[in-house]
Amino acid sequence: KAGVTQTPRYLIKTRGQQVTLSCSPISGHRSVSWYQQTPGQGLQFLFEYFSETQRNKGNFPGRFSGRQFSNSRSEMNVSTLELGDSALYLCASSSTLAGGQETQYFGPGTRLLVL
Amino acid sequence: AQTVTQSQPEMSVQEAETVTLSCTYDTSESDYYLFWYKQPPSRQMILVIRQEAYKQQNATENRFSVNFQKAAKSFSLKISDSQLGDAAMYFCAYRSPNFGNEKLTFGTGTRLTIIP
């Protein structure tokens, strides 16, 4: 099976702009989670989608949003970019079989630089 | 809320030797899942090993094994016969057992250097 894919891999934006990142999960995986990784804050959970519904949300401002499509592909959007949004954004998918305890598999990430 | 602590920001080991990375966590839940992930310089996060809290037997995956001490809330990773390809950041992560809660809580990571 192909792994989790994320596009684009690198992105440069300026303050005030908005950005959309895309994630395609492993085939058959219906849960997609997003994480932000920075040197200062480490890995922080943004949100998780399952069957086109957001099930969980981390402690991020409303500028961070996401959605999931019927094919389980997910996008996250950051509006009004700030310098502090520069980070590696990781997407992870899991199959959520019975019990929902499946492992999360990560994509390569999108490196966002805000100037 | 659960917390995960990795107290060793950096570790180094000679090639072919054994190294142990530490992880402690805090939770009020009796059942949960623990993971070790590896993030090489290329940035792709890779699952190393997984442990279910209800299982007393420590998980092993080839050269990787864990020492899970539930009462002490400790979950260390032992890497045997270290190889150059083991050089990476290692993250310990916690996950609640609740269905629908996919959130992983990560530690701050340990950077492992392999000395040839």
3-state secondary structure at position B59: coil
Chain A positions in Cβ-Cβ contact with residue B47 (cut-off 8 Å): 103-105
CB A37 within 8 A of CB A109: yes
Considering only the beta carbons, identify the residue of B37, B46, B103 that sits closest to A48: B103
Would you write out chain B's pLDDT as a tens digit for each of its 116 residues?
789 999 999 999 999 999 999 999 999 988 899 999 999 987 789 999 999 898 888 989 999 999 999 999 999 999 999 999 999 999 999 998 777 777 899 999 999 999 99
Task: Evaluate the CA torsion angle A113, A107, B61, B68 in order and state its sign.
Answer: positive
Is A101 a residue whose pLDDT tops 60? no
Q: Which residues pair with A48 in a beta bridge?
A: A33, A56
Is A99 a residue whose pLDDT tops 60? no
Diameter over CA atoms, chain B? 44
Interface residue A56 vs chain B (CB under 8 A) = yes
* pLDDT digit string, tens, across residues A24-72: 999 988 899 999 999 989 999 999 999 899 988 999 999 999 999 999 9
Structure tokens of A57?
């949300």
Diameter over CA atoms, chain A? 44
Which whole number is the average pLDDT over A91-113? 82
> Is B104–A101 a contact, with Cβ atoms under 8 angstroms apart?
no
pLDDT at A98: 56
> Between A40 and A102, whose confidence is greater?
A40
Structure tokens of B19?
């190294």
- The amino acid occupying position B86 is D
- The amino acid occupying position A57 is K
CB B110 within 8 A of CB B21: yes
Chain A positions in Cβ-Cβ contact with residue B50 (cut-off 8 Å): 103
> Is A100–B102 a contact, with Cβ atoms under 8 angstroms apart?
yes
pLDDT at A100: 45
Considering only the beta carbons, identify the residue of A33, A88, A100 that sits closest to B99: A100
Chain B positions in Cβ-Cβ contact with residue A25 (cut-off 8 Å): none
Cα B26 from Cα A15, distance rounded (Å):
38
